[in-house]
Amino acid sequence: MKICAYAAKTFKGELAKWSYDGKIGPYDVLIDIQYCGISRGDVLFIDNRWGDTHYPLVPGYEIFGTIKDKGIKVKDLEIGEYVGAGYQISSCMECQYCKKGKEQFCKKQKVLLVSGYGGASDVIIVDNRFVYKISEKLRKPEYVPLMCSGLTPYSAIKKVGIHEGMKVGLVGIGNLGHLALQILVAFGAEVTVFSHDQTKKEALLKLGAHKFVSSTDLEVLQEHEGNFDAIFSTSSGTLDWELYMRMLTLEGTICFIGLPPDNISFPATVLSDYAQRTIQGSYIGSRSEMKDLLKLAEVKDIKATIELFPMEKINDVIDKVRNNQIIFSTVVENK
């Protein structure tokens, strides 16, 4: 089957129409793509930030659409069903991680962009075990970013163990961050957001932030020393991590959801001096967490604040993301 996509053929290259051959395996479904999220991760792949990009590169790893065809072993999904797919598209189902329902750590996993072509395309073929039914309420482009930009903070927030009444700081509030904020609020946390961008203040307070703090005002930042049970960073910049670590209570946790480009560096005393602090990493989430998040999103109406564009405008969208002209999230649509 010929699949028509938009691909970058070279380093930082413009996307152009391109097609590849696809074959539906016994466990696969063919999704007719309606919506596809485009975010910073796509730009980083086009720009070969991790050094492992293979061109042609088809971006897009947050997908909503309708099942158009399926393999013979697919039992739980029917043709015509409305579904979502995210970054991870398969795992071995046999290793220790898969067996305990943490298939995001499977060493044989496949993920879009690294080992598959993404969702900037007419259709996509994905292992049905990584495809999620989308309820009627959520079949709107605002919910598309949940598939990865929502799942990643969700899993991190679960791992840190956020619960009712905890004081939480959130640093770097874009696509991942504004979803993290809503998830934290849904879990009952009191969230203070740190941003250098005052223009986001009103929107963030509306999304449930308890307090907005300007991250450029060092004096104000220092007032928060020892204040937070947890801090989540979705920033992809390099910040003064020691400063943020000192904002934690003595048993607090800082969790990196975004990946800063430079080394994370801090004096060991921040961890241990009269304290027992924790630094936590996180990586996407499991299938069961994806399902839990979709349920939570339905109940608490967690959704992205998006800008929607037609798929044909994808190069404009990529440029906007690259140049930080998107406030929160962006989604492209096949019409």
The site for a second copy (CB under 8 A) is made up of: 97, 102, 104-105, 107, 109, 155-156, 159, 250-251, 256-257, 259-260, 263-283
Neighbours of 222 (CB within 10 A): 11
The least distance separating a second copy from the CB of residue 106, rounded to whole angstroms, comes to: 9
Cβ proximity to a second copy, 21 vs 262, nearer residue: 262
Q: Which residues are CB-contacts of 169 (< 8 A; sequence separation ≥ 6)?
A: 191, 192, 193, 194, 224, 227, 228, 230, 231, 232, 244, 247
The least distance separating a second copy from the CB of residue 214, rounded to whole angstroms, comes to: 24
The least distance separating a second copy from the CB of residue 5, rounded to whole angstroms, comes to: 25
Cβ proximity to a second copy, 71 vs 260, nearer residue: 260
Cβ proximity to a second copy, 157 vs 318, nearer residue: 157
In this structure, which amino acid lies at residue 18? Answer: W
The least distance separating a second copy from the CB of residue 287, rounded to whole angstroms, comes to: 15
The least distance separating a second copy from the CB of residue 199, rounded to whole angstroms, comes to: 27
Cβ proximity to a second copy, 72 vs 268, nearer residue: 268
The least distance separating a second copy from the CB of residue 234, rounded to whole angstroms, comes to: 12
Q: Are 305 and 329 in contact (CB under 8 A)?
A: yes
Cβ proximity to a second copy, 275 vs 308, nearer residue: 275
In this structure, which amino acid lies at residue 175? Answer: N
The least distance separating a second copy from the CB of residue 288, rounded to whole angstroms, comes to: 15
Cβ proximity to a second copy, 80 vs 261, nearer residue: 261
Token representation of residue 178? 């504004």
In this structure, which amino acid lies at residue 143? Answer: Y
Question: Residue 226: which H helix or E strand, with range?
Answer: none
Cβ proximity to a second copy, 188 vs 281, nearer residue: 281
Q: What are phi and psi of 24, to 5 degrees?
A: -85, 110
Using the CB atoms, write b or e for 265-283: b if 16+ within 10 Å. ebeeebeeeebebeeeebe
Going from the C-alpha of 263 to that of each of 8, 49, 252, 302, the distances in angstroms are 29, 15, 21, 32
Neighbours of 71 (CB within 10 A): 16
Going from the C-alpha of 13 to that of each of 300, 319, 325, 332, the distances in angstroms are 40, 11, 19, 19
